[in-house]
Structure 1
Amino acid sequence: MSVMASMGSSPTKEVTAGSAGDLGEIHNWTELLYFFNHTLPECHTELSESTKRVVLFVLYLAIFVVGLVENLLVIWVNWRCSGRAGLLGLYILNMAIADLGVVLCLPVWMLEVTLDYTWLWGSFACRFTHYFYFANMYSSIFFLVCLSIDRYVTLTHASPSWQRHQHRVRRVICAGVWVLSAIIPLPEVVHMQLVQSSEPMCLFMAPFETYSTWALAVTLSTTILGFLLPFLLITVFNLLTVCRLRQAGRPDGRRHHLLVCAYIAVFVICWLPYHVTLLLLTLHETHLSLHCYLVHLLYFFYDVIDCFSMLHCVVNPILYNFLSPSFRSRLLSAVVHYLPKVQAGAGKRGSSSSSSTQHSIVITKEGTQPTAAGFYHHSTRNLQAPNASPSSVPQSLMAS
C-alpha cells in the first residue's frame, strides 16, 4: 500500500505525473481523471481483473488468518515469559506486535480490492489505515535489523558494563524504533485523500504541479529506508554472526548458517519484487520509458506483488520463533499451564502423581529429573543453556 497502491492497479485509474506533464490542456486532478477514464488509448491485454480480485481476496484472507494466529501466539508466549525469553526476546516481541498491526490492515485492503478500489470508510479512515499500515511495516523491518545487530554485538561484547545495561539499552532502542516508524510515513500519509469520482477512492494526491517530485521522493525514501539499508545491515551482521559462531567451534554451526541464509533470503524474496515494481512505475514517463504492455503488466500484477510482500508477517514467526527449541518449550509450558487438572475426586495421591508426571514429561529436557507438581510454573528456567565458559557462545542468542 504505497503511492502506486493508492492509485489502484486498473489502467483507467492510473494517475501518472509524466502523462500529465504532456497534456497542456489539463490543469487539475478532476480533468486528469476524466482524461484517463475516457480518452487515453490503452494496450489491449487479455488479463482478467475479476480473476485477480478473487486471487487477491484468497491470498489476503490466508495471510490474515495464519498471520493473526501465529503472531498472537508469539506475543502471548513472549509476553508471558518476558523475563525468561532469552537475550533478544524483546525485539522478537515487538516485531510480532508490528507484524500483527500489518495483519490487522488486511481486511480493509481485502474489501477495497474486492470492491474495485472503492473506499467506503470515510476520509479519516483513508489516512489512518494507511498510516497504521506503514508505521507497523517499518517497525517490523527495523526490529529485524535490531535483532541482527544486537545478536552480533552480544556475541562480541561480553563486558560487565554491557551485561548490566543491555536490557535498558534494548528498551530505549525499541522505543526509538516505534517513534522513528511513526514519523517516516507522515510525508506520504498527509497527501492521502478521499477523492469523489464515479466512486470514492483513497488516493495519493500530492499538489498537482509537484506530483512527480513528491511521488519520486516518497518512492525513493520507501525503497532506501524500507529495503536497501535494512537489507545491507541484516546481511552484513548476520554474516558476521555466522563467522563468529564458526570461530567459536559450535557443533550446530551448520544449522545456524542455514538459518541466517533463510533470514536473508526471505527478506529479499518478500521485498525485492515490490520495490523494483514500485520504482519502475514511479520512474515511468518521467525518467524512463517503458513499453505499453510492460506498464500494463506491472500495474496489473502490482497488487499481487504487494500482497506477496506481506508474507513476511507469516514467515517471521516461523523463522524467529517456531523453529527455536526454546520457544517451542515455552509454548508447551504455556499450554500445559492452562490444561485442566485432574479432579480431586480421583484421589489425592493419584491426582498429584498423574498431573505432575504428565506435565514433567512434556516439558523437561532429556537427562533431567521430573520435579514435583507445579514444575511447569518454572519450567522455562530449566530450558536455558547450561552455564558456559566465558569463551563460549550464549545459546540463547541463536535460539531466537
Structure 2
Amino acid sequence: MSVATSMGSGFSEGVTAGPANDIREIHNWTELLYFFNHTLPECHMELSESTKRVALFIIYLAIFVVGLVENLLVIWVNWRCSGRAGLLSLYILNMAIADLGIVLSLPVWMLEVTLDYTWLWGSFSCRFTHYFYFANMYSSIFFLVCLSIDRYVTLTHASPSWQRHQHRVRRAVCAGVWVLSAIIPLPEVVHIQLVESSEPMCLFMAPFETYSTWALAVTLSTTVLGFLLPFPLILIFNMLTACRLRQAGRQEGRRHCLLVCAYIAVFVICWLPYHVTLLLLTLHGTHVSLHCYLAHVLYFFYDVIDCFSMLHCVVNPILYNFLSPSFRDRLLSAVVHYLPKVQARADRHASSSSSSTQHSIIITKEGTQPTVAGPHHQPSLSFHAPNTSPISAPQSLTAS
C-alpha cells in the first residue's frame, strides 16, 4: 500500500544494500532485482513468513468486522439525528465515512497478504484500490484535525456572526477536505502498476532513473501531510480545549482532559511507527545505510505496522462517539424507534382480545350489548413501554 510495501514485496525478504558503486552500475529493474536476490546478505535471520501471514489475516479480519459495525452505527445515528445532534457531528459523520472507506478496502489487502502479494484483480483495481485507500486515509486524518480546531473555536468564539455562518463554513470545509484528499494520492497512484512477473504483483514502479527521487518525494509528502502537519494541530488545539474547560470550572473538565490524552495517544500510536518505518525503508540503500539486522526487521514487520495503523478505524468511533453520553442516547433512541411499533401492535391485539372477553361477559349477565369503545392510540416513538392496560369497562359493568 506504499513505496515500502512495493519494495518489500517486489524484492526478496533478505534485502540488504550492497556497495554503493555496485548499485550505481545497475541500469534497469531486471538487473536490480537480480542484485537484491543474489547478493549474499551480511546477516541472516529466521523469520517465519507463514506465521506473519496468518497473524495479518486474523488482525485484518478483526479490524474489518469491528470497524464495519462501529462505523456503520456511527454513520446511521449521526445521519438520522443530524438535525438534532451537536453541530460538530458533521465532522464526526464525515470521519466515520472515511474510516468506513478504509475498512471496505481491508478484504483486498487481507487476500493480497494471504496470497503472498499476488494480485489477481487486474490493472484497474490495482490502482483504484490504492487510490481509494489513500484518499480515505487522508480524509480521516484531516477531519480529525478539523474536529479538534472547530471544537476549540466553538468553545471560545460564541459571536453571533460565527453562529450564523458556522453551518456554511463546516460544509465548505468538509467539501474542501474531500477534494484535497482526492488530489494528494495522485502522484503516487500514477506510478502504481501491475507487474507481470512469475506472478502478477501490484507495485510502485516509478521510472528507474528517478526511482529513488520519486520514492523519497512520495514518502516525505505522506509523512508531512499525514503526520508532521496534523499531529501538532491535533495536539495544540486539544490541549487548548482541555485547558479552557478546566479554567471554566466545568465538572467534566477532568474527563475531557483524559479524553484529550486518549485522542493524542491513539493518533501517535497508530501513525508514528508507520511513518518512521516508511521513511527509514525509503532512505535505506540510497541515502542512509541501516544495520543489516535492522533492515531485515523493518522489512519483515512493515506489513504488521501498516496493519496496526488501521486500528484508528476501530478506536475513533469509540473515542468520538460511543464514549459520549449524547451519542449513546441518540443510539438508544434510534434503536428504540423501531420497537414501540411492534409492541403497540401486540398491545392493540391484547387489548382487543381483553375487550371482547369483557363484552361477552356483559352480554351474558346484562342481556344487552353496550357500545364498544375504540382502542387507545399508541404513539409511534416513545422511550417508555406503551400502556398495556385493557380498555375501560362499559358503564353497565361498573354499575353492576
TM-score (norm. length: structure 1): 0.86
Amino acid at match of 2:258: L
Distance 1:47 1:11, change over 3 A: farther
Amino acid at match of 1:341: Q
Q: Which residue of 2 aligns with 1:388?
A: none
1:122 pairs with 2:122: yes
1:109 pairs with 2:109: yes
1:100 pairs with 2:100: yes
Distance 1:358 1:171, change over 3 A: closer
Q: Which residue of 2 aligns with 1:345?
A: 349
Q: How many residues are aligned here? A: 365
CA offset digits 1:261-317 (Å, max 9, x no partner): 100000001001101111111111222111111100000000000000000000000
Q: Which residue of 1 aligns with 2:182?
A: 182
Q: Which residue of 2 aligns with 1:211?
A: 211
Structure 1 unpaired stretches of 5+: 363-370, 374-400
Tell me, yes or no, if the aligned pair for 1:103 and 1:313 is still in contact at 8 Å.
yes
Q: Which residue of 1 aligns with 2:392?
A: none
Q: Which residue of 2 aligns with 1:239?
A: 239
CA offset digits 1:67-86 (Å, max 9, x no partner): 00000000000011111120
Distance 1:281 1:166, change over 3 A: same
Structure 2 unpaired stretches of 5+: 356-373, 389-400
Return the alpha-carbon distance in structure 2 between the equivalents of residues 354 and 65 of structure 1: 41
Return the alpha-carbon distance in structure 2 between the equivalents of residues 211 and 41 of structure 1: 23
* SS of equivalent residue, structure 2 residue 23: coil
Q: What is the deviation of 1:65?
A: 0.3
Return the alpha-carbon distance in structure 1 between the equivalents of residues 310 and 74 of structure 2: 17
1:70 pairs with 2:70: yes
Distance 1:281 1:308, change over 3 A: same
Q: What is the deviation of 1:353?
A: 8.6
Amino acid at match of 1:265: A
CA offset digits 1:76-127 (Å, max 9, x no partner): 0001111112020000000000000000110000000001111111111110
Q: Which residue of 1 aligns with 2:150?
A: 150
Return the alpha-carbon distance in structure 1 between the equivalents of residues 182 and 319 of structure 2: 26
Q: Which residue of 1 aligns with 2:249?
A: 249
Distance 1:203 1:42, change over 3 A: farther
Tell me, yes or no, if the aligned pair for 2:75 and 2:97 is still in contact at 8 Å.
yes
* SS of equivalent residue, structure 1 residue 23: helix
Tell me, yes or no, if the aligned pair for 1:74 and 1:93 is still in contact at 8 Å.
yes
Q: CA RMSD of the aligned region, Å?
A: 2.6
Equivalent residues in 2 for 1:278-357, closer than 5 Å = 278-339=278-339, 340-342=342-344, 343=346, 344-347=348-351
* SS of equivalent residue, structure 2 residue 195: strand
Amino acid at match of 1:77: V
Tell me, yes or no, if the aligned pair for 1:9 and 1:300 is still in contact at 8 Å.
no
TM-score (norm. length: structure 2): 0.86
Return the alpha-carbon distance in structure 1 between the equivalents of residues 32 and 319 of structure 2: 46
CA offset digits 1:144-170 (Å, max 9, x no partner): 000000000011111111101101100
Distance 1:239 1:24, change over 3 A: closer
Equivalent residues in 2 for 1:46-85, closer than 5 Å = 46-85=46-85
Q: What is the deviation of 1:15?
A: 8.2
Return the alpha-carbon distance in structure 1 between the equivalents of residues 378 and 322 of structure 2: 26
Amino acid at match of 1:72: L
Amino acid at match of 2:69: V
Return the alpha-carbon distance in structure 2 between the equivalents of residues 129 and 20 of structure 1: 35
Return the alpha-carbon distance in structure 2 between the equivalents of residues 22 and 189 of structure 1: 30
Q: Percent identity?
A: 83
Tell me, yes or no, if the aligned pair for 1:216 and 1:283 is still in contact at 8 Å.
yes
1:270 pairs with 2:270: yes
Distance 1:357 1:188, change over 3 A: closer
Return the alpha-carbon distance in structure 1 between the equivalents of residues 10 and 243 of structure 2: 48
Return the alpha-carbon distance in structure 1 between the equivalents of residues 377 and 383 of structure 2: 10
Tell me, yes or no, if the aligned pair for 1:7 and 1:15 is still in contact at 8 Å.
no
1:229 pairs with 2:236: no
Q: What is the deviation of 1:37?
A: 2.9
Larger of the two Rg values belongs to structure: 2
Return the alpha-carbon distance in structure 1 between the equivalents of residues 59 and 98 of structure 2: 20
